[in-house]
Amino acid sequence: MQDTDFISSFAKGLKVIEAFDEARPRLSISDVAKTTGLDRATARRCLLTLSELGYADYDGKFFALTPKILRLGHAYLAATPLPALVQPTLDQLSERTAQSASVSVLDGTDIVYIARAAQKRVMSINLTPGSRLPAYCASMGRVLLAALPEDEARAVLNRSDLKANTPRTLTAPDEIIAELWRVRAQGYALIDQELEPGLCSIAVPLENDRGRIIAALNIGAPAASVPAAELVERYLPILREAQVALKQVLR
Amino acid sequence: MQDTDFISSFAKGLKVIEAFDEARPRLSISDVAKTTGLDRATARRCLLTLSELGYADYDGKFFALTPKILRLGHAYLAATPLPALVQPTLDQLSERTAQSASVSVLDGTDIVYIARAAQKRVMSINLTPGSRLPAYCASMGRVLLAALPEDEARAVLNRSDLKANTPRTLTAPDEIIAELWRVRAQGYALIDQELEPGLCSIAVPLENDRGRIIAALNIGAPAASVPAAELVERYLPILREAQVALKQVLR
């Protein structure tokens, strides 16, 4: 077997795992072939391998992932010190503000939640470590995009599906780039119902002890209880404290 | 390429991902070969594939997983309706009791957390969806083992590393089996500092609408504030309510 065969079969297998999601929890061989663009025979081999190894269940027609799959994602969460380092700060933030506090990192065009301390759920989706949101319209995404050189940020926007989730969502790349300059200058990003109606949030970058931005920290609040205009006054000072405290901790 | 080659390279790749954990966040090719039992050339191919696909970073010597890995574990969490269905109940439970509430499922000899609502951290480890604990000494593990036929439960115990985490931990298979009979009869499991000193918990099984036990639900509390003897009186009625409410929801 050649290196290229090896790489390609491993890559295809990983692609098949990613074919399962909220909208597609149970998939047939043809479903997977269609979603991944793999041919039927390859999709079948990948699915049977997953089933053989206990990562998927098969009822003769449909495949569904098993909890064993969580070992893979958990390998990252367990192996990276960031979630454990920030969790106590998030718990405090969430308790002090009675809102949800989260930390995320950039992965392609998405932000990925790596730690979260949640109060009552205000979003329509349930966010947990591993959850993803599009970067262009999320406060942590704006902070992380603002940390990139402009051409890289623009390249991410070009690859993004810039949808108007609400009438307020910025979708024109030039407008978003202008907003990123503002975010960089003021040191925080404010989102007023661009991701979903009724949800506001404010985010700051997290630097490690060498001054490199490695993650973003935010507080999200229902617009009905805390209008976006008040987020800065209420929460920015607390976020700044957390930012300074975490800078000592993050290496 | 044969089916067996395919299956074997995909399987090896997944094994390499699982080689990374809290104690081993950065691994060289030799480290991975040692941990997984794969030969050096295969370990190298798997690692370079992960790096090529963006699932790992490579600094020329060490590999580390990237947040992209979370897509894999998240595929399960997003694809299974259970976490989203139980989260509102967990949030309520945690708020009413001011303790942490969790739901987990059995995977081999471990329980895997799939949802959690946490109050201040009482355990030495940070539990998030995807976290694993040995089933034999955890309250949710006892409930899930008690749901198995005795020979299957015994087979899981035989494959388990039955360690005395504390002087109170049951480690003799026959004693644990006897405890499982008690759990089955009383409908709940109580753990008094068998997993770690200072931590108590009480768990009940969650049935779907056809009466099949599909998960376990628990409340954990610091022994210093709630002695194990009081867990039943304080929390069992609330857990029972949640159990009944969730039975309507879980299909």
Which of B14, B26, B87, B156 best probes binding to A when mutated, by most A CB atoms within 10 angstroms? B14
Please judge whether A132 and B74 are an interchain contact, meaning their C-beta atoms are less than 8 angstroms apart. Answer: yes
How many whole angstroms separate alpha carbon B228 and alpha carbon A198?
A: 42
**Predicted local confidence at residue B126, as pLDDT:** 66
Task: Tell me what percent of the residues of chain B surpass a pLDDT of 70.
Answer: 94
In this structure, the answer to whether residues B38 and B109 fall within a common structural domain is no
Compute the nearest-CA separation of A192 from chain B (Å): 25
In this structure, the answer to whether residues A87 and A173 fall within a common structural domain is yes
How many whole angstroms separate alpha carbon A17 and alpha carbon A65?
A: 8
> What ipTM score was computed for the predicted complex, to two decimals?
0.78
Domain edge (last residue) among A53, A71, A89: A71
In this structure, the answer to whether residues A26 and A65 fall within a common structural domain is yes
In this structure, what CATH number is given to the domain that contains residue B29?
Answer: 1.10.10.10
Q: Which residues in chain B belong to E strands, given as ranges?
A: 56-58, 63-65, 100-107, 110-117, 132-134, 189-192, 199-207, 213-222
pLDDT tens string A137-154: 999 999 999 999 999 999
**Predicted local confidence at residue B64, as pLDDT:** 93
Q: Which residues of A fall within a CB distance of 8 Å from B75?
A: 17-21, 65, 69
In this structure, the answer to whether residues A54 and A104 fall within a common structural domain is no
In this structure, the answer to whether residues B64 and B165 fall within a common structural domain is no
**Predicted local confidence at residue B82, as pLDDT:** 85
**Predicted local confidence at residue A3, as pLDDT:** 62
Q: Which residues of B fall within a CB distance of 8 Å from A13?
A: 10, 13-14
When CB atoms are compared, the residue of B3, B7, B81 closest to A25 is: B81
Q: Which residues of B fall within a CB distance of 8 Å from A16?
A: none
**Predicted local confidence at residue B78, as pLDDT:** 76
pLDDT tens string B8-44: 889 999 999 999 987 888 999 999 999 999 999 999 9
Minimum Cα–Cα distance from B63: chain A residue: A79
**Predicted local confidence at residue B109, as pLDDT:** 95
In this structure, the answer to whether residues A109 and A212 fall within a common structural domain is yes
User: For residue B101, which of B238, B219, B2 has the smallest C-alpha distance?
Assistant: B219
Q: Token pair of A56, please?
A: 């998927």
pLDDT of B248 strictly over 90:
no
**Predicted local confidence at residue B167, as pLDDT:** 95
Q: Which residue has the higher pLDDT, B198 or B84?
A: B198
Domain edge (last residue) among B37, B71, B105: B71
The number of folded domains in chain A is 2
When CB atoms are compared, the residue of A5, A118, A130 closest to B70 is: A130
User: For residue A3, which of B244, B49, B191 has the smallest C-alpha distance?
Assistant: B49
Cβ–Cβ contacts within 10 Å for residue B158, how many? 10
Compute the nearest-CA separation of B72 from chain A (Å): 6
User: CA-based angle B135:B136:B138, to the nearest 5?
Assistant: 65
**Predicted local confidence at residue B250, as pLDDT:** 83
Residue A30: pLDDT band (50, 70, 90) is: very high
Domain span at A110? 80-249
Minimum Cα–Cα distance from B76: chain A residue: A65
b/e per residue, B88-123, with b = 16+ CB within 10 A?
bbbbbbbeebebbbbbbbbbebbbbbbbbbbbeebb
**Predicted local confidence at residue A98, as pLDDT:** 87
In this structure, the answer to whether residues A123 and A194 fall within a common structural domain is yes
The residue with tokens 């999601």 is A21
Q: What's the distance, Cα to Cα, between the start and end of chain A in Å?
A: 41
Write the DSSP symbol of residue A63: E
Q: Which residue has the higher pLDDT, B1 or B68?
A: B68
Residue A250: pLDDT band (50, 70, 90) is: confident
In this structure, what CATH number is given to the domain that contains residue B99?
Answer: 3.30.450.40
Q: Token pair of B237, please?
A: 């009625």
Q: Which residues of A fall within a CB distance of 8 Å from B117?
A: 118
Please judge whether B71 and A73 are an interchain contact, meaning their C-beta atoms are less than 8 angstroms apart. Answer: yes
Question: For the residues A10-15, what does the mean pLDDT come to?
Answer: 92
In this structure, the answer to whether residues B65 and B143 fall within a common structural domain is no
Residue A5: pLDDT band (50, 70, 90) is: low
Strand B189-192 and strand A63-65: the pairing is: unpaired
In this structure, the answer to whether residues A153 and A213 fall within a common structural domain is yes
In this structure, the answer to whether residues A44 and A144 fall within a common structural domain is no
Please judge whether B78 and A21 are an interchain contact, meaning their C-beta atoms are less than 8 angstroms apart. Answer: yes
**Predicted local confidence at residue B3, as pLDDT:** 62
Coil, helix or strand at residue B9: helix
pLDDT tens string A76-135: 877 777 887 898 899 889 889 988 899 999 999 999 998 888 766 555 556 777 888 999
In this structure, the answer to whether residues B241 and B151 fall within a common structural domain is yes
Residue B249: pLDDT band (50, 70, 90) is: confident
In this structure, the answer to whether residues B195 and B244 fall within a common structural domain is yes
Question: For the residues A193-211, what does the mean pLDDT come to?
Answer: 91
Please judge whether A49 and B6 are an interchain contact, meaning their C-beta atoms are less than 8 angstroms apart. Answer: yes
Whole-Å CA distances, B238 to A153, B185, B188, B217, B235: 50, 19, 12, 11, 5
Compute the nearest-CA separation of B18 from chain A (Å): 6
Q: Specify the range with the lowest mean pLDDT, choosing from A30-34, A124-128, A173-177, B133-137.
A: A124-128
**Predicted local confidence at residue B5, as pLDDT:** 64
